[in-house]
Amino acid sequence: MAFTITMMSWSIVEYGKQMGASGELGHAMEAVKWGTDYLIKAHPEPNVLFGEVGDGNTDHYCWQRPEDMTTDRRAYKIDPSNPGSDLAGETAAAMAAASLVFRRYNRPYSNQLLNHAKQLFEFADKYRGKYDSSISVARKYYQSYSGYADELLWAAAWMYRATNNQYYLNYLGNNGDSLGGTGWAMTEFGWDVKYAGVQVLAAKFLMQGKGGHHSPVLQRYQQKADQFMCSCMGKGSRNVQRTPGGLLFRQRWNNMQFVTSAAFLLTVYSDYLTSAGKSVQCPAGNVSPSELLSFAKSQVDYILGDNPRATSYMVGYGSNFPRQVHHRGSSIVSIKVNPSFVSCRGGYATWFSRKASDPNLLSGAIVGGPDAYDNFADERDNYEQTEPATYNNAPLLGILARLNGGHSGYNQLLPVVLPASKSVVSQPKPTLAPQLNPAPAKSSVPITIEQKGTASWNANGKTYYRYSTVVTNKSAKDLKDLKLSISKLYGPLWGLTMSGGTYGFPAWLNSLPAGKSLEFVYVHSASPADISVSGYTLA
């Protein structure tokens, strides 16, 4: 989970502007907060972190819905006597990366995350050891093959990015050789092996001119980052295997985790190089930033159906996607449809062995994917290919935002950057509905509301309009308990939470600082909705 949160946060930090322009930033931030809230609860003391609940053996013995599970839920922790630097380091990275996501929107929560990150980094570095030596039940399913050195560097890189504290850059510089960051030339990046991610971040720091006296070491990090890109592009001295259809291939069991993670690194590195005016020098020839991005796009295209089987490996996307996903909740009828208890072994007999499609669609999940020859068997017991994982999806968050929204240099989240107006191509292009001027507000209400139409398109004989609405706190205090009344709204709205007939802050936002703005969007086939302030407090 920690790696999932780190990658989702990295996606938002890099491409939050693009997500905001499509109305998805709030959803992404809510997903991150769901994970960080859990991680906070798992870190009750500075040197204690709970790393697993339940165990793989007893969990796999049963096939039940979450509501029916009867298996033991024992919690396993790491502490100074039973260390786990890899687990604590990754969780520190997740907290640090997420603190950047919430810094401009929810400063107290961001500070809380950063405090946890600092404690976890110190814990990981001071009490060294592999987590699966302390939590041995994890070894069969999530063994730490790479050890903990890569996570210490990974955590330090994210701590430096989140704090700009020289201590963490010194850590990267002083330990780059001894911990392997400048020595390992990688051909994979994932929840276990973080070196390629560290090397890309270190290269970013160097290209931003932050290396200082550590520049020679950061250059060695960058050389390894370049080698990773060359290996993925097939222009290195040790290249990543590809299927006949062009998919990067590392292993049969859940290969897609490496595809999405590699594609993400290709994407962000392409943008880093573009901003720095550089390219990659490979043994088999130079590679431009645009080539890196183009190859990353080809991997996403393959995942979504542009492959020899014409199969989408994202559940629910397209017409030909996996129907028998290796997932308990998806494969067993919803408790709302049939509340009858599903027993431990009865679930295997009744539901696991069914050859019918899943009764619950696990929309958006990325499954393990095809083998080295593009073959795929859509069968529930084929866990190597049909099992989904959150860390398969997390890197896609950023890639899709980048491919949809373009590149605008280094994103600096998050002062609510207003999206540029973008018209959706349609023939003929309709005229936007009249724009609404700033809503008049009483002088006693220190809140302004501005709406503008940002896109329009035709569908089924109707013209639809996308409206961007910006609420600005004009007071000198924090704005809390905001309530907006919205009428004449005839379509979906993103970026607010509805309660009792009024709209308030989204779940990830508690208050709006003085002078800051909140943006939300809605789509319908009418003139702008009527929006007014019905309540608020200043503190």
The whole-angstrom separation of Cα 173 and Cα 216 is: 9
Residue 387 bears catalytic tag:
yes
Question: Could you say which of 326, 327, 407, 524 is catalytic?
Answer: 326
List the one residue out of 366, 439, 412 whose CA is nearest residue 208: 412
- Residue 300, class by beta-carbon neighbours within 10 Å (0-12 exposed, 13-18 middle, 19+ buried)? buried
Residues whose CB is less than 8 angstroms from the CB of residue 490 and which lie 6 or more positions away in sequence, other chains included: 524, 525, 526
What is the CB-side half-sphere exposure of residue 243 using CA atoms within 13 A? 26
Question: Could you say which of 59, 79, 291, 378 is catalytic?
Answer: 378
Residue 271 bears catalytic tag:
no
Q: Are 78 and 49 in contact (CB under 8 A)?
A: yes
Peptide bond preceding 414: is omega within 30 degrees of 0, i.e. cis? yes
Radius of gyration of the chain (CA): 24
Amino acid residing at 281: Q
Q: Could you give the angle at the alpha carbon of 494 between the alpha carbons of 492 and 497, nearest 5°? A: 105
Q: Are 269 and 10 in contact (CB under 8 A)?
A: no
Residue 214 bears catalytic tag:
no
Amino acid residing at 285: G
The whole-angstrom separation of Cα 168 and Cα 127 is: 18
What is the CB-side half-sphere exposure of residue 361 using CA atoms within 13 A? 7
Long-range contacts of residues 463-466, Cβ cutoff 8 Å, at least 24 apart: 463/430, 463/525, 464/491, 464/523, 464/524, 464/525, 465/432, 465/433, 465/523, 465/524, 465/525, 465/526, 466/23, 466/424, 466/521, 466/522, 466/523
Residues whose CB is less than 8 angstroms from the CB of residue 252 and which lie 6 or more positions away in sequence, other chains included: 371, 372, 384, 385
Structure tokens at 51: 């790393």
Catalytic residues: 326, 378, 387
